[in-house]
């Protein structure tokens, strides 16, 4: 199959999953074309099976906001014609499904009928998409997709609750190459991050308010009072400055390291003993899954799709959003002795295999086959 993948090329979960999906599909012999405004951060290698097409937007003073949707839909039309692409897979309802639908209509005018699969990732539904300005467009885009998937059962239920959806939504979870995530650090490398007796706690996110990074700092504050520990925070976002200030206010700035964005999250996770994800909303929790795949237990909120990923009492613990004291107590429970920590590490790694690439990517391939068969009949 020749597959066009449209995604955000940034550090967020939707872009990471879309990129990993494309790479896995190429490994299965498919020809994959990424179409977006810059090369995705996880897309290091281009080959005969993997192509990248940049969407450029001419700058006109007439426009206060440059029309990316128009540029994207036009680029999709051109690439489908040039490479005889079989199917479009758009990640994120806004604006990709909307642009994909416009491309479909333009192609139909030329006698080319191509199915479109839309994958919903979370904020396109629960935050942005539910805004009154966007809700009609999101509803229209989902209902006019040939196939629709969501990354968790929780997100599917939210979508059906918030929008007037006539289409069927299938749950195809996020995934990870569990074999590719190996804990291969040396003790010497770990000593660069913390003292031998210190536990290393990690948080990875875009540091937006929805991720509750202040809760991360406050949870760590309670943990470090009970156990020698260090906190590593990976990511950039609007709450970074205030989180740094909070660490100073609490007198723990020397125990908190802010890394900024990194392409080497797996290496940082290799040093980690515990992962914190106290988000207010989380459609799936890909960052938690990546940590689990390396063998890092999770302390998280119980919101959205997180209970589908983090199994309470097995791969970590779940708590209500904002329950800082319980999250800290659960963290201490895991970290207090080596035997307990090791049990949780083993269980976290084992639990992550439910979402291995080998299990999930074939679900997408079957979905593509059904969409193509349906399109041929229509």
pLDDT digits (tens, 9 = 90+) for 243-260: 999 999 999 999 999 998
Question: What pLDDT score does 11 carry?
Answer: 60
The CATH number corresponding to 2-175+356-377 among 3.30.365.10, 3.90.380.10, 1.10.10.10, 3.40.50.2000 equals 3.40.50.2000
Q: How far apart are CA 342 and CA 344, in angstroms?
A: 5
Within this chain, domains 2-175+356-377 and 187-355 share the same CATH topology: yes
Q: For residues 209, 227, 303 and 346, what is the CA-based torsion angle, rounded to 10 degrees?
A: 130
pLDDT digits (tens, 9 = 90+) for 312-323: 999 999 999 999
Mean pLDDT of the chain: 91
Question: What pLDDT score does 47 carry?
Answer: 79
16: which residues sit within 8 A by CB, 6+ positions away?
41, 42, 286
The CATH number corresponding to 187-355 among 3.30.110.70, 3.90.1150.10, 1.20.200.10, 3.40.50.2000 equals 3.40.50.2000
pLDDT digits (tens, 9 = 90+) for 283-293: 999 999 999 99
Q: Which residue has the tokens 């920590």?
A: 341
Q: How far apart are CA 95 and CA 43, in angstroms?
A: 21
Rg (CA), the chain: 22
Q: How far apart are CA 16 and CA 359, in angstroms?
A: 18
Strands, sheet with 50-54, edge to edge from the N-terminal-most edge strand: 50-54, 31-36, 2-6, 87-91, 116-120, 147-150, 169-171
- pTM surpassing 0.75? yes
Domain ranges of the chain: 2-175+356-377, 187-355
Q: 120 forms bridges with which residues in the sheet?
A: 150
Asked whether the predicted pLDDT for residue 183 surpasses 70, the reply is: no
Least confident of 133-142, 166-175, 347-356: 133-142
Average pLDDT value for residue range 199-220: 96
- For residue 95, whether the previous peptide bond is cis, meaning omega lies within 30 degrees of 0, is yes
Question: What pLDDT score does 57 carry?
Answer: 85
């Amino acid at each position: 199959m020749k597959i066009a993948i449209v995604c955000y090329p940034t550090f967020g979960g939707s872009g990471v999953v879309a990129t990993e999906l494309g790479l896995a599909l190429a490994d299965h012999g498919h020809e994959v074309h990424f179409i977006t405004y810059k090369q995705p951060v996880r897309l290091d290698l281009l080959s005969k099976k993997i192509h990248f097409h940049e969407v450029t937007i001419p700058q006109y003073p007439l426009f206060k906001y440059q029309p990316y949707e128009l540029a994207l839909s036009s680029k999709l039309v051109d690439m489908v014609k040039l490479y005889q692409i079989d199917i479009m897979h758009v990640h994120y309802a806004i604006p990709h499904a909307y642009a994909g639908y416009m491309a479909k209509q333009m192609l139909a005018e030329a006698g080319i009928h191509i199915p479109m699969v839309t994958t919903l990732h979370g904020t396109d539904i629960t935050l942005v998409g539910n805004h009154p300005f966007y809700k009609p467009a999101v509803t229209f885009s989902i209902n006019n997709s040939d196939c629709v998937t969501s990354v968790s059962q929780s997100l599917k239920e939210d979508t059906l609750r918030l929008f007037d959806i006539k289409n069927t939504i299938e749950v195809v979870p996020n995934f990870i190459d569990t074999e590719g995530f190996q804990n291969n650090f040396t003790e010497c490398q770990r000593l660069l991050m913390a003292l031998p007796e210190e536990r290393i706690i990690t948080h990875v996110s875009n540091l937006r308010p929805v991720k509750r990074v202040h809760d991360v700092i406050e949870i760590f504050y309670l943990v470090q009072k009970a156990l020698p520990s260090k906190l590593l925070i990976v990511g950039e976002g609007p709450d970074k400055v205030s989180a740094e200030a909070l660490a100073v206010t609490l007198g723990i700035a020397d125990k908190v390291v802010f890394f900024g964005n990194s392409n080497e999250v797996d290496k940082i996770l290799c040093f980690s003993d515990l992962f914190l994800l106290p988000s207010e909303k989380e459609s799936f929790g890909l960052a938690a899954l990546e940590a689990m795949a390396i063998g890092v237990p999770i302390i998280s909120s119980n919101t959205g799709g997180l209970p589908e990923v983090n199994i309470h009492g097995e791969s970590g613990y779940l708590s209500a959003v904002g329950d800082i004291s319980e999250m800290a107590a659960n963290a201490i429970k895991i970290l207090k002795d080596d035997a307990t920590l090791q049990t949780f590490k083993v269980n976290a790694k084992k639990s992550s295999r439910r979402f291995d690439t080998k299990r999930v990517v074939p679900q997408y391939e079957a979905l593509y086959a059904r969409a193509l068969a349906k399109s041929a009949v229509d």
